[in-house]
């Protein structure tokens, strides 16, 4: 705990560091890894249970699974890629959406109380999956020359400014794009968790002082932050998958 001189244990980077639960062969396994593992098991287990023995007349679990699957398929993938091109990418996008959403939602779950995606490594790996999918699709669809035109925004009608545009587009697509894709998710979850911890700790701190009315206000802010975080957690999963579909759509688009 950090101390600013008045005894208030202000949250900081230490709020994102965890002692290892176990160490096996020099490899440390901590709380965040455990939550990521549980997330994987939950997502796979849920869809396996929902669709493993799918019925013509679905049960409650299958109906929930179909609703979630259709939300991503129709609301994101089809809207961005179209039905014909998008169908083959639906499993990937559904997996990304629910994996990210559950990783985020741990932030407001008692005992867990930590969003896995606030650790940059996890959004970075997911962004890398999307990035290499985009690169591979672009090469497959357009070949080397087409790939070069795609990532540089080649358009001979631009005339004298074409070299400058190509340089900017090249660095933007190959370097900046995967970075911003990962950081957008990470930064929102990092900031949200920090704010939630601050108001939660402040509530307990003020409750043990003479500023009990202020503790009530801080507690109400904590509730408001939890509700806001529930909204942000879903939005960030949506935005991440929407951007992934946009990148895939760019890989499949024809460039002249």
Least confident of 32-36, 49-53, 73-77, 123-127: 49-53
Longest pairwise C-alpha distance within the chain: 71
190 pLDDT above the threshold of 80: yes
Q: Does any domain span residue 150?
A: yes
Q: Render pLDDT for 144-155 as a digit per residue (tens, 0 to 9).
A: 888 888 888 888
Q: Does any domain span residue 26?
A: no
| pLDDT score of 151 | 86
- Print the domain residue range for 132: 39-46+60-254
| pLDDT score of 8 | 59
Q: Does any domain span residue 5?
A: no
Residue (of 150, 197, 190) closest to 172 by Cα position? 150
22 pLDDT above the threshold of 90: no
Q: Does any domain span residue 25?
A: no
| pLDDT score of 9 | 65
Q: Hey, which residues does 24 pair with through a beta bridge?
A: 27
What's the chain look like in SS3?
A: CCCCCCCCCCCCHHHHCCCCCEEECCEEECHHHHHHHHHHHHHHHHHHHHHCCCCCCCCHHHHHHHHHHHHHHHHHHHHHHCHHHHHHHHHHHHHHHHHHHHHHHHHHCCCCCCCHHHCCHHHHHHHHHHHHHHHHHHHHHHHHHHHHHHHHCCCHHHHHHHHHHHHHHHHHHHHHHHHHHHHHHHHHHHHHHHHHHHHHHHHHHHHCCCCHHHHHHHHHHHHHHHHHHHHHHHHHHHHHHHHHHHHHHHHHCCCC
At a CB cut-off of 8 Å and minimum separation 6, what does 123 contact? Answer: 117, 181, 182, 183, 185, 186, 240
26 pLDDT above the threshold of 50: yes
Q: Does any domain span residue 229?
A: yes
| pLDDT score of 7 | 60
Q: Does any domain span residue 100?
A: yes
Q: Does any domain span residue 123?
A: yes
1 pLDDT above the threshold of 50: no
At a CB cut-off of 8 Å and minimum separation 6, what does 194 contact? Answer: 11, 15
Q: Does any domain span residue 28?
A: no
Identify the residue with better confidence: 213 or 108: 108
Residue (of 97, 105, 119) closest to 31 by Cα position? 119
Q: What is the pTM of this model?
A: 0.88
Region 180-186: mean pLDDT is 96
Query: How many domains does one find in the chain?
Result: 1
């Amino acid at each position: 705990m950090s101390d600013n001189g008045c005894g208030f244990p202000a949250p900081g980077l230490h709020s994102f560091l965890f002692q290892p639960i176990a160490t096996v062969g020099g490899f440390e396994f901590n709380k965040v890894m455990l939550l990521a593992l549980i997330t994987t098991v939950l997502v796979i287990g849920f869809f396996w249970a929902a669709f493993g023995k799918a019925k013509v007349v679905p049960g409650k679990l299958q109906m929930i699974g179909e609703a979630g699957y259709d939300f991503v398929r129709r609301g994101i993938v089809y809207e961005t890629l179209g039905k014909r091109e998008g169908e083959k990418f639906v499993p990937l996008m559904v997996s990304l959406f629910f994996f990210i959403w559950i990783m985020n939602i741990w932030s407001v779950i008692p005992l867990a109380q930590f969003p896995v995606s606030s650790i940059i490594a996890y959004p970075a790996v997911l962004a890398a999956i999307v990035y290499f999918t985009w690169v591979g699709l672009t090469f497959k669809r357009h070949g080397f020359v087409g790939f070069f035109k795609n990532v540089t925004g080649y358009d001979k009608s631009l005339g004298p400014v074409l070299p400058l545009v190509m340089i900017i587009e090249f660095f933007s697509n190959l370097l900046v794009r995967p970075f911003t894709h990962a950081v957008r998710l990470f930064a929102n979850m990092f900031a949200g968790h920090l704010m939630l911890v601050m108001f939660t700790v402040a509530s307990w701190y003020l409750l043990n002082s003479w500023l009990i009315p202020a503790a009530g206000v801080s507690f109400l802010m904590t509730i408001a932050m939890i509700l806001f975080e529930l909204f942000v957690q879903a939005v960030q999963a949506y935005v991440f998958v929407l951007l992934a579909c946009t990148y895939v759509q760019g890989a499949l688009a024809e460039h002249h």
